[in-house]
Every structure is written in structure tokens, then in C-alpha cells.
Amino acid sequence: MVRHGSNLEVVVGDLLRGRGLTLALSESCTGGLLGHRITSVSGSSDYFRGAIVGYAADVKRELLGVREETLARHGAVSEETAREMARGARRVIRADLGVSITGIAGPTGGTPEKPVGLVYIGLAAPDGEWVERHVWEGDRRQNKSRSAAAALDLLRRYLEGEV
């Protein structure tokens, strides 16, 4: 039973457990914050298989299978990279669902085309793949926190049949 009114990580955990699904993560700009939130829930080992914090491009390529062409053409912060990161986490960690986060937490690293606060969140599932784009306007801590919350919300919406 889903405990509505609870933290997103509790709701997502209840939904994953209720559907018998497992989860893998690939995080970049959040540096493991999403994994921390998920594992803060007692019993998360029932559904959480693991995470790869792939901050560097070579980690994204070598561990997650993000193609060199994708990184060269679109960059590490892109819809395409988020999609391949989610797909890679799902495959490498052997989970039903893969969720990825890649972005520019700030305060440095932004450009006019890719500003500080730009984040892509990917979800790879047996029945499809989705990527959402966000542009946060907070400081580094806020951008990371909002990104982790948005990833949990995307996962919740998927599990509740809303995406």
C-alpha cells in the first residue's frame, strides 16, 4: 500500500515494492544524492539494486555505455546522454528501471546554450524511455536537491501510469 503524504522516496519505494520492480541509478551532477534519498528508506534493498555516479565523461562511456558520438555531438549535459545513462544503468546493474540525472549544478560551468541549473532526467523501462529537461534557478545545493526530487517524481508518475 502506498503511503501518500509521505516523502517521495517512501512513495516510490512502496510503488516499486508493490509492483515487484527493481531500480538502478546513474547520477552525475547530483553526486549520489538520489541514491542517498532512496536508501534513506528502510527496506529499500527490496527494490534498489545500485547506482553509478558517473561524473567524468570516460566513466559515462566506459561504465554506462554512453557513446563517444553522443558526448561529442550533444555533450554530457543533454537529452541524448541522459537517455543513454538511464539505459546503461538499467543494463549494467540489471534492474527493471534505470533513472539518470545529468546537468550543471553551478555556480560555474554554464554557457548561454547550457545555463547553470540545466538538468536532464532520464528513465529507461521495459516499455519505453523518457527524458525531462529542467532549468533550476537556485544555488548548487538547491539545484541538486530539486534534481533529485524531480527524478523521484518522474519515477512516481511512471509507476502510477501518468507518463
Give me the CATH number covering residue 51: 3.90.950.20
Q: Which domain holds residue 102?
A: 8-129+150-159
Compute CA 22 distance to the chain's CA centroid, rounded to the nearest angstrom.
14
- Structural domain count of the chain: 1
Is the per-residue pLDDT at 108 higher than 70?
A: yes
**Digit-coded pLDDT (tens) for 63-76:** 999 999 999 999 99
Residue with cell 547520477: 27
pLDDT band at 3 (very low <50, low <70, confident <90, very high): low
pTM of the predicted model as reported, rounded to 2 decimal places: 0.95
**Digit-coded pLDDT (tens) for 23-78:** 999 999 999 999 999 999 999 999 999 999 999 999 999 999 999 999 999 999 99
Helical H segments across 23-128, by residue range? 33-39, 57-64, 68-74, 79-93
Q: Tell me how far apart the alpha carbons of residues 140 and 90 are, in angstroms, rounded to a whole number.
A: 27
Are 63 and 41 in contact by the 8 Å Cβ rule? The answer is no
Asked if the structure places residue 145 within a domain, the reply is no
Is the per-residue pLDDT at 5 higher than 80?
A: no
